[in-house]
Amino acid sequence: MAGPTTTPYVTLNSGHNMPVLGLGTFALCQPPDLVSVFVQAIKLGYRHFDTSPVYGSERPLGFAIAEAIRRGLIQSRDEVFITSKLWCTDADPELVLPALQNSLSNLGLEYLDLYLVHWPLRVNSGEYKVMYGKEDLLPIDMRGVWKAMEECHSLGLVRSLGVSNLSTKKLSDLLSYSTIPPAVNQVQYFIWFWCLAKGLLSLILFFQHTSIRSG
């Protein structure tokens, strides 16, 4: 990623800079006009966007990047850092490259800044959805999947590789055989997890609120 930004960044082990503040694009209920939301986010200064094929936000995000360039909010695609992920239905060595190419097509981009293995799980191929049953689970060849991820990097389609939701044991295993080590292990962190570990009741209130408005 190149270009000026007011957002602090960290330098990954790949040598590329990643803005530390990013906009996650997953929501159970998507706004009716995600393109306008993302364009407004770019206008407000967001430069890191996290998406996934299962989120349903890759295509509108791609449209938003093109629109932001057209409006002069950014000068080129290189001014934004785009993260997407390999979903569980595609966690197979033979499906990694086609899945990445599909994400790039949805986004209208030639490369991703960061590509993550979304979960260390493989499920029966089919529609992208968030919830699966135990009967849908299949053995995962993580070594083969990671080798395919490294091949995507060698092709220039991805600048940095990473994982998501890996335990320290699984991450240690991956580091033992990877040629290109993961630059990121993206994990969820909520106060709910801490409260659960301490035997406390975590009261979570949900509000319909957003500080990003189109227009």
- The packing angle between helices 34-44 and 58-71, to 10°, is 50
Q: How many domains does the chain have?
A: 1
**Residue 84 belongs to domain spanning:** 9-189
Q: Is 115 exposed, middle or buried (0-12, 13-18, 19+ CB in 10 A)?
A: buried
109 inside domain: yes
* Token pair in block for residue 143: 């070594």
Q: What is the dihedral of CA 63, 94, 81, 108, to 10 degrees?
A: -20
What is the residue-level pLDDT of the chain in tens, covering all 215 positions? 444 447 899 999 999 999 999 999 987 567 778 999 999 999 999 999 999 999 999 999 999 999 999 999 999 999 999 999 999 999 999 999 999 999 999 999 999 999 999 989 898 877 777 666 788 788 999 999 999 999 999 999 999 999 998 999 999 999 999 999 999 999 876 666 666 666 665 444 444 333 333 33
- Output the domain CATH number for residue 80: 3.20.20.100
153 inside domain: yes
142 inside domain: yes
Q: Calculate the CA 78 to chain-centre distance.
A: 17
Look up the pTM and report it: 0.85
List 9, 46, 55, 132, catalytic entry: 55
2 inside domain: no
Q: Is 9 a catalytic residue?
A: no
